[in-house]
């Protein structure tokens, strides 16, 4: 039986600490309202938004080619309008769609009082680190929007590094930055393929999967050590871990 307690907790951001998916739904509705005001047919509006979301899901962004993430995502909206309407749209409309979506998402995104209180409490006993995948600009904008940077000993954004989760290299960077060993840490996140797989590959003490919509673990996927419906259940997991290592 181990006699070493947890020293550090590594948290994912999106859909772990903040409801990015929910903010995204609100943002898409705002774009629908915008397109409706421009007299775009309702059937086309739904199609435009679905195409954009598919492009976002499969997005590949390389900052070295000289385009910003804003440029890339304005292009997503332009192509979505073009494909759905069958004609070249006004570039200004694509830009309006993008900034309506982006600004609404950032305004709605929030670290709830309950989650903030949890982090403030955990800060007293653990080194907390935020490890989030995504391009640098977008993720830092989210972090600043929810005003959470001060709750962590360190914040690591995947887009600032050569590799992102689940790569071992970015976890190794986190451990070295905090001055801890992998077995001193637990990894908390909503993605089996990046957070949980990455934590297991890195050799953390335990992985905690945030499964807010009661998904089944897909066949062939990694299995987390703990599964909870919300990050607010994390204290229960830490209680179990404390009993195990005592």
| pLDDT value at residue 135 | 96
pLDDT tens string 120-157: 999 999 999 999 999 999 999 999 999 999 999 999 99
Domains with residue ranges and CATH for the chain: 8-18+110-244 (3.40.50.1000), 21-108 (1.20.120.710)
| pLDDT value at residue 119 | 98
CB count within 10 Å of CB 1 equals 5
Look up the pTM and report it.
Answer: 0.94
| pLDDT value at residue 50 | 98
Q: Which residue in 160, 95, 128 sits closest to 234, CA to CA?
A: 128
| pLDDT value at residue 5 | 87
| pLDDT value at residue 100 | 98
Low-confidence ranges of the chain (pLDDT < 70): 1-3, 243-246
| pLDDT value at residue 3 | 44
């Amino acid at each position: 039986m181990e006699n070493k307690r947890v020293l550090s907790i590594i948290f994912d951001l999106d859909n772990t600490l903040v409801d990015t998916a929910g903010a995204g739904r609100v943002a898409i509705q705002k774009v629908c309202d915008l397109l409706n005001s421009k007299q775009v047919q309702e059937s086309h509006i739904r199609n435009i938004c679905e195409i954009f979301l598919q492009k976002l899901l499969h997005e590949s962004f390389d900052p070295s080619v000289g385009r910003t993430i804003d440029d890339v995502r304005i292009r997503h909206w332009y192509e979505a309008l073009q494909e759905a309407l069958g004609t070249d749209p006004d570039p200004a409309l694509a830009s309006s769609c993008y900034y309506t979506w982006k600004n609404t998402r950032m305004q709605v995104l929030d670290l709830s009082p309950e989650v903030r209180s949890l982090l403030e409490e955990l800060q007293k006993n653990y080194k907390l680190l935020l490890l989030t995948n995504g391009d640098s600009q977008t993720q830092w904008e989210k972090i600043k929007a929810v005003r959470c940077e001060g709750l962590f000993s360190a914040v690591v954004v995947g887009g600032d590094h050569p590799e992102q989760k689940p790569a071992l290299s970015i976890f190794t960077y986190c451990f070295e930055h905090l001055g801890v060993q992998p077995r001193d840490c637990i990894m908390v996140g909503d993605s089996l393929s990046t957070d949980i797989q990455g934590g297991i590959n890195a050799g953390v003490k335990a992985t905690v999967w945030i499964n807010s919509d009661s998904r089944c673990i897909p066949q062939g996927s990694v299995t987390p050590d703990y599964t909870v419906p919300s990050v607010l259940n994390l204290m229960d997991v830490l209680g179990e871990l404390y009993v195990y290592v005592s």
